[in-house]
Amino acid sequence: MKSLEQRVLDYIGKMRLLQPGDRVGVAVSGGADSVALLHLLSSTRGKLGIQLLVVHFDHRLRGAESDADADFVSDLARSLAIPLVIGREDVAAAVKQNKWNLEDGARRLRYAFFERVVRNGQATRIGVAHTADDQAETVLAHLIRGTGPTGLAGIHPVGDFVVRPLLAIRREELRGYLRRQRQTWREDSTNLDEQRVRARIRARLLPLLEREFSPGVVGRFSELARLAGEEQVFWNALTDERFQALFRRNDHGWSIQTGDLIAPMKVPAASLKQNTWESSEAAVVKPVTQHLIRRVYQELRGSRQGLAARHVEQVIELASFPGSGRRAELPGGVIVENNFGDLTFALHKHGNAAQKPASRSSASREYAYTVELPGRGCATVSVPELQRRFRLKLIDWTFAERETIEGCSALDADRLRMPLILRNWRPGDAYRPRGRRQIHKLKQMFAAGRIPVRDRAGWPILESGGQIVWALGMPAAREFSADEGTAIGVVIEEERL
C-alpha cells in the first residue's frame, strides 16, 4: 500500500496542482488538517521542486485562544525552518459593518489575505487543507440547503490561486499521521458548536450515514463531487463561448436579444425527434440559457451568491413573453429589463432592487439649460447628467449645404424664439413632427423608435418660447423645421463628454 506522502504526491500530479518552482503558501490555522498539510509538503518539497511559506490568518474572534493559535503556528514554522506571514483582522467588526454572515465574512477576509500574499509576490499558490470529509460535508450541506448540479461539485481541487492537495484524504488518517510524527495540533472550539449546520453534519449526520447505511459514503460523496466538477468544466467552457458570442457590453451593463437567450444554440432536428420528454428547441437548450443567466449575473456582481433557481426562471419568463418595459428585480440590485426584444442586465449602484428605476431616473436626470444662440458659429451646452455635450451649429442654408446634411433634423434659426431651453423629457410632452399632420406624444414616439424605458427620463428636448421644437433622434417640429425658404439653419450635434 502506498504511503500517505506518495498518495498526496500522486494526487498533486494527477490534478496538476503544483509545478516545480512554485512558492507555496501553506494556510496553517493550527488545526490537525492544516498542520498535516504543512508536514506533508515539507517532507515532499524536494520531489515537488517547490518552496514553502507558512501563512496564518488571525480572525481575532476567540481572544486568548486566537493568540495561542498564532503562537503555535509561529513555533511550528520556526521548527521546520519555513518563513511565516501572519495576517490579522477584526472579523467581528467587519461582519457587523457589512452585515455578513459570520462564517461567510470570516472566509471572505481570510481569502482576501491569501490573495494579497500572492499579489505581493510572496507566493504563487496557496495550499489549503480541505479533506475528503470536508468535501462530503459540503455536498451534504448543499443538498440540505437545496442545490443544482453546480453545487454537487462541492469543493474544487484548484481555484484561481488556491490548491487543495488533501481533498482525497480522510481527516482521521491525517490525525494518525500526526500522531506517528509526534506532532501536536490545536483544536478550534467553534468547530464543536452544533448550532452551525456544518458542525451538526460533521458530528451527527456523516457518522450516522457511515454507521447505518454505508461505511464508504464519504468516498462516494467525494466521487460524486469529482464527476460533477468535471461536468462543470465542460459547462464553463460552453457558457463562456456562448456568452462571448451573444452578449453585448453597453453603458448600463450587458444586453442580449431575447431570442438568443431562449435559443442560445442550434439543435439538430434529429436530436429533437429523439427527445421524448420535450421536443421544443428552447426546452432542449434551457440548461444553456440558465447557465448564461448565472454567468451574466456573476459578471455584474462578482459572484452568483443569492441567485436562486426561481430568479433564473423569472428572467426566462421575462424573455419569453413580448412587451417592452417589463422588468425583473434580482438579488443584489441586478435589474433586468425587456426593451423591444432586447434584454438588458444592469446593476443598480446602490444595490436596492426594490426601488423603481423611474423614481431614481427622474431624480438623477432632471436638467434644464438655457441656450444663447450666437450670430454665427455654434453654441455648446454640456449636460453632465447624461455625460453628453450638444452643439447647436448655425449654417448658411444653401442648396449645396442641404445636400451635405441630407436627412438631418435641422431647425430654421429665424423661427426660433427665446428662451431656448435644453431640458429632459417630461410626461405629457408632445409636438407635431415634420412630415406629420397630427401632434404626437413623445412617449408614443419613444415606443415607435424603440427607445428603452430606462433612457427616456433624461431624453434631450429643446424648447423655443415654451414650445418643443426638437427631440434627439426625432424629426424636428413641423413649424420650426428648415426648408427651402430658410436662410440660416440650426443643426444639433451630440458627443460624449
**Domain harbouring 474, CATH code:** 3.50.40.10
Q: Which of 355, 390, 414 is the C-terminal boundary of a domain?
A: 355
The Cβ of residue 128 has, within 10 Å, a number of other Cβ atoms equal to: 26
Task: Please count the residues of the chain.
Answer: 497
This prediction has a pTM of 0.65
The CATH code of the domain that includes 293 is 3.30.465
Cell of residue 491, nine digits: 443643426
pLDDT digit string (tens) for the chain, length 497 residues: 789 999 999 999 999 999 999 999 999 999 999 999 999 999 999 999 999 999 999 998 888 988 999 999 999 999 999 999 999 989 899 888 888 888 888 988 999 999 999 999 999 999 999 999 999 999 999 999 888 888 899 999 998 899 999 999 999 999 999 999 999 999 887 777 788 888 899 999 999 999 999 999 999 999 999 999 989 889 999 999 999 999 998 877 899 999 999 999 887 776 655 555 555 677 788 999 999 999 999 998 888 878 888 899 999 998 887 665 678 889 888 999 887 788 999 987 544 433 343 333 444 568 888 888 887 788 888 888 888 889 898 888 764 344 444 445 789 998 998 889 999 998 889 999 988 888 999 988 888 877 777 778 889 999 998 899 999 888 899 999 988 888 888 999 888 76
Residue 132: what pLDDT? 95
Could you tell me which residues are beta bridge partners of residue 201? none
Residue 19 lies in a domain: yes
Please count the other Cβ atoms lying within 10 Å of the Cβ belonging to residue 258. 19
Are residues 191 and 199 in contact, defined by beta-carbon separation less than 8 angstroms? yes
* Angle made by CA atoms 432, 437, 443, in degrees to the nearest 5: 45
C-alpha span between 394 and 375 (Å, rounded): 8
Domain boundary among 321, 355, 389: 355
Residue 22 has a pLDDT of 95
Assess whether 324 and 379 both reside in one domain.
no
In a domain, 241, yes or no: no
Largest CA distance in the chain: 102
**Per-residue confidence (pLDDT) for residue 497, from 0 to 100:** 65
Q: Which of 300, 331, 355 is a domain's end point? A: 355
Burial of 363 from C-beta contacts in 10 A (0-12 / 13-18 / 19+): exposed
Rounded Cα gap, residues 24 and 2, in angstroms: 24
376 and 327 housed in the same domain:
no
* Contact (CB, 8 A) for 101 and 73: no
Residue 139: which domain range? 4-230
CB neighbour class for 312 (10 Å; exposed up to 12, middle 13-18, buried from 19): buried
- Residue 210: CATH number of its domain: 3.40.50.620
Same domain membership, residue 163 and residue 91: yes
Dihedral sign computed on CA atoms, order 213, 216, 218, 222: negative
Distance CA 495, CA 389 (A): 5
183 Ramachandran zone, left/alpha/beta (phi>0; psi -120 to 50): beta
**Pairing mode, if any, of strands 51-58 and 488-496?**
unpaired
Structural domain count of the chain: 3
Please list the residues that pair with 51 across neighbouring strands.
23
Residue 366: per-residue pLDDT: 82
